[in-house]
Amino acid sequence: MSLTVPVILGSVRSDRIGIRAARFLTARLEARGHEAPLVDPAELKLPLLDRMYKEYPAGTAPEPLERLAALYRRSDAFLVVTAEYNHSVPPALSNTLDYFLEEYFWRPSAICCYSAGQFGGVRAAMPLRAILAEMGMPSIPSLLPIPRLQTAIDPEGTPTAPWLDTSAARFLDELAWYAEALRERRLRGTPY
């Protein structure tokens, strides 16, 4: 089953390494026949949240928000790629996520966390899990933590660490299973 899975990246730093993980995962999803558009806050340049998408009168939201809303509504799952800033979620990620809510509902999410150091960003993944659940897109059980991302994946998104292929394959299998299950169930209706 071909799925639509936006890959939401959470760093806007000019020297960011997170783009490597996002490129790796979009390529892996596309190789499986899925659509995996990159949601890049550095390109979107959304200001710190003033109005959520739903707070704009219909048809008056800024173009990037209309585009994201249309994408999210036809999505089957969300893959969130997060760094760890001070043991938590980068502000660019929570700002990007906060613009929407109902558009996420009834879909699973998955967390790829990373860091330049040895812990792979797992301390950011824990608060992110609570945020994603609150937003109506609970995360799948597995994480994909990538320690020392700057050496594990090259700037084009090609892994240099052999374990990544195996881990990513298992992680994406699990995400696809939940995404397919919830897509089939959404077709028969949602509680609200």
Ligand X SMILES: Cc1cc2nc3c(=O)[nH]c(=O)nc-3n(C[C@H](O)[C@H](O)[C@H](O)COP(=O)(O)O)c2cc1C
Q: Which residues bind ligand X (CB under 6 A)?
A: 11, 13, 16-18, 83-87, 115-117, 119
Tokens of 187: 């077709």
Q: Closest distance between ligand X and the C-beta of residue 18, in Å?
A: 3
Choice between 2 and 86, CB closer to ligand X: 86
Tokens of 93: 């990620």
Choice between 62 and 91, CB closer to ligand X: 91
Q: Closest distance between ligand X and the C-beta of residue 88, in Å?
A: 7
Residue 189 neighbours by CB distance under 10 Å: 8
CB within 8 A of 88, min separation 6: which ones?
Answer: 123, 124, 127
Q: Closest distance between ligand X and the C-beta of residue 191, in Å?
A: 37
Tokens of 99: 């613009």
Phi, psi of 89 (to 5 degrees): -90, 135
Degrees, nearest 5: CA angle 7-10-16:
110
Q: Closest distance between ligand X and the C-beta of residue 50, in Å?
A: 24
Choice between 92 and 137, CB closer to ligand X: 92
Choice between 151 and 190, CB closer to ligand X: 151
Contact (Cβ atoms closer than 8 angstroms) between residue 136 and residue 104: yes
Q: Closest distance between ligand X and the C-beta of residue 40, in Å?
A: 11
Choice between 61 and 131, CB closer to ligand X: 131
Tell me the DSSP string of 9-24. E----TT-SHHHHHHH
Contact (Cβ atoms closer than 8 angstroms) between residue 124 and residue 85: yes
DSSP annotation of 49 reads P
